[in-house]
Amino acid sequence: MAVIGKIRQRSGLLIFLIGASIVGFLVMDATNSQFSVLKGRKDSIGKVNGEKITYNEFTKKYEENVKTTEDQMRGQQAMTDEQRNNIRTQTWNQMVNDIIFNKIYDKLGINVTADEMNELATGVNASPYIQQNGQFRNPQTGQFDPSLVRMYLSRLDQDPEGVEPGTVRRQWLNFETMLKQGQFQAKYGNLISKSFYVPGWMGEMTYNDQNRLVDFKYVQLPYTEVNDADVKVTDDDIKKFVDEHAARYKQDEETRKIDYVTFDIAASSGDSAKTVQYLAEKRADFASGKTPSGDSVFVKLYSETPFDAAYYEKDKVMAPASVKDSFFTVKVGSIVGPYIDNGSFKLAKISDRKLISDSVHVRDIAFSFAGITSQEQANVIFKQIDSIYKAIDSLHADFGQMAFNYSSDQASKMKGGDLGWVKRGEKEKAYNDLIFFHAQKGKVYKVPNQTENAIHLVQVIEDKPTVSAVLVSYLSKEIQPTPETERNIYSNATNFAADNQSDVKFKAAGQKLNMKTVNAVKKDAFDIAGLGSARDLIKWVYGAKKGDVSPVYTVEKKHVVAMLEVIRPKGLPEVDALRDIVKPEVIRDKKFEILSKKVTDAKAANIDDLAAKLAKSVAEADKVSFARPALAEGAFEPKVVATALVTAVGKLSQPVKGNGGVYVTQTIAIQEPVKSTDYTMYTYQLKQQLQNKARFAQDVEKKLASIDDNRFDFF
């Protein structure tokens, strides 16, 4: 009580201290926050044609897209980082496209009306995305039924049991948005493609180009006649070549070249021994199981390989060749191993062995759940299945009559459910495993078929078992490094990074550790070739200086140390960045100059004279056209053929820079195409080619747009 009294006496001071602490915390947060006004940081992910995309807007849209994907993946494994990264990229592209193209659509007067959307959803000519959806097809006819779409839309707020409220409506609204954007894009594309015009003279010119034939002789001087080592290439040569071919090498965004070494987080021999010991301790209990069902329980409790109730032939058994044969020779109940398979030690128990059939004669009754939108509707079908199953199994009702009356399979019901002889592997796994490995002839079984969204009552009528197969249970354990092993590997990586803090040392030491190079790491990438998801390492790369060596980064099952070798800015890269790429091109140009000089120095009167002076043979090309510019042995040489087509008959051409060497031609004869009055086909082909390019119109608009991308500052 005395303490409480003292606190009350100093309440004013206490309030002041609390207030000061709160203010200090807020100031500190504002100073450190990535959105800090005090630090002048931006609160936008980027700008598109001057329009800002804020962090909050982007995050909201991203979360909506994540939620949509999670709804679609319901019941599957959790979303991976790679999937989230892809969604983040898709969200950015989506928002950029909306800003650019919504204004274009508005300016061009392109619109998608409510009536049009209704027709796309529920009309006779509905969108293919809707028509192909199984739940909107009539179960009896298999045809698209618009009334089922209208029924679905009337129940958008009736979410299935166990599903978050609002899920169905959210999924439809997202689909509707996608559908509407697709219509906008289709109209825009049609507007562009329909605007192309090809005049008749272009069709006539194309006809002539494709059908004008030329006979000519030629001499080839292969580039290989000059050794690469004899060709001197300077930085000025490379720069000149790059400048002359700037469009080919210009980069739309900054990239960086890195070298890296990896230290695999792998188990040691001691770790492997511990894994073998684990299997040895379990071996006796594993061997004591007397039935496949007992083996399945044991595998479920102790193995990392799931139990598979299927029987496999020798060529289908998933095991190394060194042990596979023994699966078919040892006694049932025997254990083979331990052996290594895909990074795990395994014991394989032969739970059963028997003859199986390549095909079985089956009949079934299908109960489709397509178009079912509520649990109540599903329960009606479940009750019907149970009733018919009991009637056949216990009361010996006629299977064929039941199939005719109730099966949703329109083809087989007319045959009393008879599917004929079904080959192994034709059906979904659960269905396949039942009829080939476990079903008794004449007995009725229930089996789901997820692919068809149906449940079947199945009966095997006849089989012909002839092939030996085994049911194998696997007790497996992955060979994992212990914490001590991992610490040693990490220590090796950190020592490497500390000892090689320069580009020269890094490269020298890295060569001994199988150093890898990545030529173009992009700023907003999440993956690095050969490594996988490595966003933290990429962020380091773009914060480093040329020659910097990174700390240790852990990527999947590797520790990585990288060195930033080259920074390639947006635009035309520096000579160093392109030397290895451009040098072969420059060498070829210089070889052309050397070989061309041999031709001009020969001062030949004709092709035969040239061949004699250069000690070459004369080759001939007959009935060649620019549409099919192939020489002897299929050599693709369009420049050579084009030269022969435009050179006067009997005249020797200038040296031609071909793909395989330097060529000189002498035209023998040119056969002009037959005159025609109808060039419609060629005009049509040209128009089709232009219209196909219309799909790139959106890419062009994006290139012309002003886009500031600041995602790197946030993610």
- Do 665 and 629 fall within a single domain? yes
CB-side neighbour CA atoms (13 Å) of 704:
9
DSSP 560: E
Distances (CA, A) of 125 to 121, 129, 130, 144, 308: 9, 11, 10, 10, 46
In the sheet with 335-341, reading across from the earlier edge strand, the strands are: 335-341, 344-356, 467-478
- Do 416 and 498 fall within a single domain? no
CATH of the domain at 524: 3.10.50.40
Dist. CA 356–CA 463, nearest whole Å: 9
69-91: average pLDDT: 81
Dist. CA 200–CA 683, nearest whole Å: 7
Domain count, the chain: 6
- Do 404 and 457 fall within a single domain? yes
DSSP assignment of 341-381, as one string?
A: ETTEEEEEEEEEEEEE-SEEEEEEEEEE-TT--SHHHHHHH
CATH of the domain at 650: 3.10.50
State the pLDDT at residue 250: 85
Asked, for residue 49, whether it belongs to a domain, the answer is no
Any idea which residue has 């080259």 for tokens? 566
3-state SS assignment for residue 577? helix
Dist. CA 699–CA 705, nearest whole Å: 10
Neighbour tally for 313: CB within 10 Å: 14
- Do 560 and 493 fall within a single domain? yes
State the pLDDT at residue 375: 82
- Do 372 and 459 fall within a single domain? yes
pLDDT tens, residue by residue, 215-257: 999 999 999 999 999 999 999 999 999 989 988 888 888 899 9
Dist. CA 290–CA 327, nearest whole Å: 17
Per DSSP bridges, beta strands 444-449 and 418-423 are unpaired
Packing angle, helices 200-211 and 680-692, rounded to 10: 100
Dist. CA 129–CA 118, nearest whole Å: 14
Q: 587 near 581, Cβ under 8 Å?
A: no
Residue 111's beta-bridge partner residues?
none
Domain span at 567:
251-266+482-571
Asked, for residue 41, whether it belongs to a domain, the answer is no
State the pLDDT at residue 539: 93
Is there a cis peptide before residue 338, judged by omega within 30 degrees of 0? yes
The answer for residues whose C-beta is within 8 angstroms of residue 311's C-beta and 6 or more apart is 352, 354, 356, 436, 437, 469, 470, 471
Q: What is the CA radius of gyration of the chain?
A: 37
Last residue of a domain, one of 512, 539, 571: 571
Per DSSP bridges, beta strands 255-264 and 558-568 are antiparallel
Last residue of a domain, one of 306, 334, 356: 356
Dist. CA 696–CA 691, nearest whole Å: 10
Last residue of a domain, one of 514, 539, 571: 571
The answer for residues whose C-beta is within 8 angstroms of residue 487's C-beta and 6 or more apart is none
Question: Which residue from 403, 372, 367, 398 is spatially nearest to 384, judged by alpha carbons?
Answer: 367
The answer for residues whose C-beta is within 8 angstroms of residue 118's C-beta and 6 or more apart is none
- Do 595 and 665 fall within a single domain? yes
439-454: average pLDDT: 89
Q: What percent of the chain has pLDDT over 70?
A: 94
Distances (CA, A) of 91 to 50, 78, 173, 330: 19, 20, 16, 58
- Do 363 and 399 fall within a single domain? yes
3-state SS assignment for residue 300? helix
State the pLDDT at residue 131: 85
- Do 227 and 240 fall within a single domain? yes
pLDDT tens, residue by residue, 684-701: 888 888 888 777 888 888
Asked, for residue 689, whether it belongs to a domain, the answer is no
Structure tokens at 544: 């480093």
State the pLDDT at residue 75: 62
Asked, for residue 615, whether it belongs to a domain, the answer is yes
Neighbour tally for 554: CB within 10 Å: 16
3-state SS assignment for residue 1? coil
* Region class of 558: left (phi > 0), else alpha (psi between -120 and 50), else beta: beta
Any idea which residue has 């040691």 for tokens? 268
Q: Residue 19 pLDDT > 70, yes or no?
A: no
Distances (CA, A) of 553 to 208, 260, 514: 62, 11, 17
Instruction: For residue 42, name the pLDDT band (cuts at 50, 70, 90).
Output: low
Question: Which residue from 149, 101, 110, 105 is spatially nearest to 127, judged by alpha carbons?
Answer: 149
Dist. CA 57–CA 92, nearest whole Å: 11
Asked, for residue 709, whether it belongs to a domain, the answer is no
Q: Which helix (H) or strand (E) holds 493?
A: helix 483-499
- Do 315 and 402 fall within a single domain? no
DSSP 513: G
Asked, for residue 691, whether it belongs to a domain, the answer is no
Dist. CA 699–CA 28, nearest whole Å: 44
State the pLDDT at residue 43: 81
pLDDT tens, residue by residue, 635-675: 899 999 999 999 999 999 999 999 999 999 999 999 999 88
- Do 456 and 367 fall within a single domain? yes
- Do 530 and 546 fall within a single domain? yes
Any idea which residue has 């069709």 for tokens? 203
Asked, for residue 604, whether it belongs to a domain, the answer is yes
Neighbour tally for 20: CB within 10 Å: 10
State the pLDDT at residue 610: 95
134-162: average pLDDT: 83
* Region class of 518: left (phi > 0), else alpha (psi between -120 and 50), else beta: beta
555-584: average pLDDT: 88
Neighbour tally for 183: CB within 10 Å: 18
pLDDT tens, residue by residue, 403-426: 999 999 888 989 999 999 999 988
Q: Residue 210 pLDDT > 60, yes or no?
A: yes
Which among 7-16, 376-385, 488-497 has the top mean pLDDT?
Answer: 488-497
Structure tokens at 153: 């839309």
- Do 583 and 642 fall within a single domain? yes
State the pLDDT at residue 371: 76
Asked, for residue 469, whether it belongs to a domain, the answer is no
